[in-house]
């Protein structure tokens, strides 16, 4: 569920589709895996879920405007179980070759688009980050392309876009500084 509040913290409304699982632990855990982005220009809120390759656009009053399926996303099943004491457990899906992980929004300067990415895993973890744009009004999705998740053995991630460039972050080390110090 998505909850809308004023900047002062006053509750306005809730909307979205709750998870159908009867177990409150499962519902709570799964809801934490989703991400939101909002577009003030078109009064649209977009929701993406790590466990479902679909982006849903809502109006600012909670009406579903569109749904876009991300092509070639192959989500691994999420393992559920019970402890010896009978408590429900849920884990993160194991990522095998070809599995998709981390469906996330990427900040962008374009006021008409949402940008979404996900990683395709290989034998050594994330290998490619795939990028999509989704029109905030129509929900029309467009595949932008992919970016390697590893450059010269350093993990990288596209974290922002503008009209002409992508911006990446590294997860360990700063190769340009390391080269300078050699």
- From first to last of the 182 residues of the chain, give the pLDDT tens digit: 899 999 999 999 999 887 777 888 777 777 777 889 999 999 999 999 877 788 999 999 999 999 998 877 767 666 777 788 878 777 666 556 656 667 888 887 778 999 998 877 766 666 788 888 999 999 999 988 888 777 776 777 888 887 778 788 765 555 554 443 33
Residue 135, pLDDT score: 95
Residue 174, pLDDT score: 55
Residue 182, pLDDT score: 39
d(CA 180, CA 108): 31
Residue 51, pLDDT score: 74
Neighbour tally for 148: CB within 10 Å: 12
Residue 94, pLDDT score: 59
Q: In 16-168, where does DSSP find H-type helix?
A: 24-31
Residue 7, pLDDT score: 93
Residue 38, pLDDT score: 93
Residue 134, pLDDT score: 94
Mention every residue, 6+ apart, whose C-beta is less than 8 A from residue 87: 25
Residue 15, pLDDT score: 93
SS3 call for 119: strand
């Amino acid at each position: 569920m998505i909850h809308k509040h004023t900047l002062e913290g006053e509750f306005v409304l809730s909307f979205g589709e709750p998870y159908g699982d009867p177990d409150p632990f499962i519902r709570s855990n799964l809801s934490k895996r989703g991400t939101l982005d909002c577009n003030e220009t078109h009064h649209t809120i977009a929701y993406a879920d790590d466990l479902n390759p679909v982006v849903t656009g809502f109006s600012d009053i909670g009406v579903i405007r569109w749904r876009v399926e991300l092509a070639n996303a192959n989500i691994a099943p999420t393992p559920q179980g019970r402890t010896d004491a009978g408590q429900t457990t849920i884990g993160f899906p194991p990522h095998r070759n070809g599995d998709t992980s981390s469906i996330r929004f990427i900040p962008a300067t374009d006021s008409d688009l949402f940008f979404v990415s996900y990683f395709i895993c290989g034998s050594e973890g994330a290998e490619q980050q795939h990028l999509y744009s989704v029109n905030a009004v129509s929900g029309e999705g467009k595949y932008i392309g992919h970016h390697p998740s590893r450059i010269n053995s350093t993990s990288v991630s596209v974290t922002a876009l503008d009209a002409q460039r992508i911006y990446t972050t590294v997860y360990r080390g700063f190769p340009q500084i390391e080269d300078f110090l050699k």
